[in-house]
Structure 1
């Protein structure tokens, strides 16, 4: 179990509830800077008592935080279409938009 994985999951749960780090830090009774270190994988350790608060706040079992995250599953949660066709369409749209801006400034 890596702190980075736990921090990543905490961050995604926080964002899914549209909470700022400050708001969640208050709920967990820690500083915003401590929460930032946890979310960014820079904390050396996470107190077991704190993890109990995190689990209770997000209504998650501790096992949830022990499981390795699968990047493909994370993308599924955001409904991101990463098909080649979709990527090429988006690149084309961005390119055309950029060309239009260049023509407007000339």
Structure 2
């Protein structure tokens, strides 16, 4: 089974972003934090969402793989394949809804900043 860190490394290279750019975008203090993230077996969902946005990948890119013992290299159990497709659909739906939530949260933050600015003007 591929570790999520391996997938993160591949996605980073495909993105064309430098490690320094990624560190800044993810809010890491150093570029070594990016390499540490790529060495993990697991990843926090909040960080995964940020990574997906940054690398322009669906969450299913990082979680849609099935580790199955195979007797024949090209053979995959049909029930596992069906589960994988169902899981991918579910994960993509969650990702799309999370993206909508993030967008709305960004709008709320912008409105809160406008309120703060207006409040400062009123006080002056």
Q: Which has the higher contact order (CA 8 A, sep 6+)?
A: 1
